[in-house]
Amino acid sequence: MDALTLVSAEGTVSSIPLADALVLTRPTSPLRSRVAYAAAHVVPKIHAENVPGHPADIDWDSTLAFRHHLWTWGLGVADAMDTAQRNMGLDAAATRELVRRSAAEARSVGGAVVVGVNTDHVDEPTISLTAVIDAYRQQLHETEEAGAGVVLMASRHLARAAESAEDYVRVYNAVLAKATTPVVLHWLGTAFDPQLAGYFGSDDVDDASRTLLRIIESNPDVVRGVKMSLLDADAEIAVRAALPAHARMLTGDDFHYVSLIEGDGSHHSNALLGAFAALGPLASAAIQRLDTDDVDGYRGLLGPTEELSRHIFAAPTWFYKTGVAFLAWLNGHQPAFSMVGGLHAGRSIPHLSRIVELANGCGALELPALALERWHALLAVHGIVPVKVSP
């Protein structure tokens, strides 16, 4: 039996048996019981200057092929969001190109796609509320013109400029008034981006939730949902229960998604998760179980993945993108373990080793033999196992 080599934080080397791949089946019809989007990452050109401070140079073939992989499993794609390294290597020009290409690819196969709308094309760190509105509207127009759905992301510019909850209400109402297609709002917590402290006008989650709900209730014709990424299941459950009928909750909680998606008997969350980019086949198979009211089957497939996701999203949480790209490489979805902005250096070898261990244990290695070969090659590069030399 093949063995996976692991390395601890103390440098201790051990091994575990390589598990067989799970036998999972792609859906033959759309997923019914839950809406599920995987927030996809981008793949850089191997030979390009994708180092800190350089504009992103993207391998479009591999990047778009990964989106097709997710669509074949019945998942929607959430693109040009934080998983795609916005504000951590993906510049404004690359973001616009990603939106255009992803929307076109989705149309070609009838896949679902929503993309992030933000203000991050503006270079000045501090701008007025009016300028924030104009910046949001510019990206909103570009996204709608491309034919993609809209996720109105939390804006660092707005977090700096707003002085009260009323400022958030003003900005969001003004932007949403120009929307011509359904919009999902996005509340991204400080674990993901410390610069968003006090978003929606308060550090108190209950106060901020009331402001969010005001915005949703004031815009019933355009707001179709909210993605909450606070890593606070109780806060999500409270907002979910208070949502008006026209809006759905899409969990962005990569720590508690199993129970949140299952629901409490009265309400459930749908999904818009970076974790689902790392767990596409498993996420699809689990929701297929919910489609047939097989709750035990759902828990059996998705439950074991949560420990892996918690590790990928461990503090500092914003480096979770490294784990997503790492698993994509192990699973054969990109030719090298590299990221725009050099972000593949964001996690240590012991951290990656734990990802390998947990992925092996929960069935997240789609091609176990390939994963073993690639992982051991990476360990050899780092001097942890001997380099194999042909005679």
Q: Which two tokens stand for residue 199?
A: 């978003």
Segment 209-218, tens digit of pLDDT: 999 999 999 9
Q: What is the pLDDT of residue 391?
A: 65
Nearest residue to 67 (alpha-carbon basis) of 116, 22, 112, 118? 112
Res. 198 pLDDT band, cuts 50 70 90: very high
Backbone angles phi, psi at 344, to 5 degrees: -65, -15
HSE-up of 89 (CA within 13 Å, CB side)? 28
Q: What is the DSSP letter of 200?
A: G
Tell me what the mean pLDDT of segment 242-257 comes to: 98
Mean of all residue pLDDT scores within the chain: 97
Tell me what the mean pLDDT of segment 279-294 comes to: 98
Segment 356-391, tens digit of pLDDT: 999 999 999 999 999 999 999 999 999 998 876 666
Question: Residue type at 301?
Answer: L
Contacts of 66 (CB under 8 A, 6+ apart): 40, 41, 43, 328, 333, 334
Helix axes 233-242 and 205-218, enclosed angle (nearest 10): 30
Res. 329 pLDDT band, cuts 50 70 90: very high
Tell me what the mean pLDDT of segment 80-91 comes to: 97
Question: Residue type at 202?
Answer: S
Query: Could you tell me what percent of the chain has a pLDDT over 90?
Result: 98
- Please, where are the H alpha helices in 226-367? 233-242, 257-262, 275-278, 280-291, 295-302, 305-312, 320-330, 349-362
Helix axes 165-176 and 129-146, enclosed angle (nearest 10): 30
Q: What is the pTM of this model?
A: 0.97
Q: What is the pLDDT of residue 386?
A: 82
Tell me what the mean pLDDT of segment 202-212 comes to: 98
For residue 59, pLDDT over 70 is answered with yes
Res. 1 pLDDT band, cuts 50 70 90: low
Q: Are 317 and 30 in contact (CB under 8 A)?
A: no
Tell me what the mean pLDDT of segment 33-40 comes to: 98
Cα–Cα dist 249/273, whole Å: 12
Question: Sign of dihedral through CA atoms 175, 177, 179, 184?
Answer: positive
